[in-house]
Amino acid sequence: MNDVSVNKVLLSALPALALLLPTMAAADRIYTDAQLHYVNFVQETDGMKALFRAMDEANIHDVAIMGLGVIKKWEESAPKEPRYYMGDEAPVYYYSATDAMLAQDILALPAEQQARLHPFISGFNPTDMNAVNHIEMMMEMHPGLWKGIGEILTRHDDLTALTKGETPRANHPALMRVYEFAAKHDLPVILHSNITSKREAKPIYREELEEALSRNPDTKIIWAHAGTSAEIHRYQGRVEGLFKIVSDLLATYDNLYIDLSWTMLDPYLIHDGQADSDWLGLVKAYPDRFMAGTDLVGRFDNLGKNIHEFEPFLDALPNDVADRVARTNLLGLLPKSDD
Percentage of residues in the chain having pLDDT higher than 70: 91
Q: What pLDDT was estimated at residue 28?
A: 84
Q: What pLDDT was estimated at residue 27?
A: 62
- Any idea what DSSP says for residue 297? B
The model's confidence at residue 214, banded by pLDDT at 50, 70 and 90, is very high
What pTM was computed for the model?
0.91
| Residues 32/64, Cβ–Cβ less than 8 Å | yes
Helix (H, G, I), strand (E, B) or coil at 150: strand
Q: Which amino acid is at 147?
A: K
d(CA 7, CA 24): 28
Q: What pLDDT was estimated at residue 25?
A: 52
Q: State pLDDT tens for residues 41-80.
A: 999 999 999 999 999 999 999 999 999 999 999 999 999 9
| Range in 130-144, 205-219, 259-273, 298-312 the model is least confident about | 259-273
Q: What pLDDT was estimated at residue 4?
A: 43
The model's confidence at residue 22, banded by pLDDT at 50, 70 and 90, is very low
**5 pLDDT higher than 70:** no
For residue 126, CA distances in Å to 35, 84, 87, 146, 313 come to: 19, 21, 23, 18, 34
The model's confidence at residue 6, banded by pLDDT at 50, 70 and 90, is very low
Sequence-distant (6+) residues with CB within 8 A of 64 are 32, 33, 34, 35, 36, 118, 120, 147, 148, 190, 293, 330
d(CA 189, CA 275): 28
Q: What pLDDT was estimated at residue 336?
A: 83
| CATH architecture of structural domain 32-333 | Alpha-Beta Barrel (3.20)
Buried b (16+ CB within 10 A) or exposed e, 151-184: bbbbbbbebbebbeeeebbbbbebbbbbbebbbe
Q: Which amino acid is at 105?
A: D
251 CB neighbour count, 10 Å cutoff: 11
Percentage of residues in the chain having pLDDT higher than 90: 87
**281 pLDDT higher than 60:** yes
Q: What pLDDT was estimated at residue 262?
A: 87
d(CA 251, CA 313): 22
Q: What pLDDT was estimated at residue 3?
A: 44
State the alpha helices, DSSP H only, in the chain.
3-19, 48-58, 97-107, 111-114, 131-141, 157-162, 173-184, 206-215, 230-236, 242-252, 277-285, 303-308, 311-315, 319-323, 329-333
Q: What pLDDT was estimated at residue 15?
A: 52
| Residues 214/284, Cβ–Cβ less than 8 Å | no
- Name which residue leads in pLDDT, 15 or 100: 100
Distance of CA 72 to the CA centre of its chain: 20
Sequence-distant (6+) residues with CB within 8 A of 183 are 216, 218, 219
**219 pLDDT higher than 90:** yes
Mean pLDDT of the chain: 92
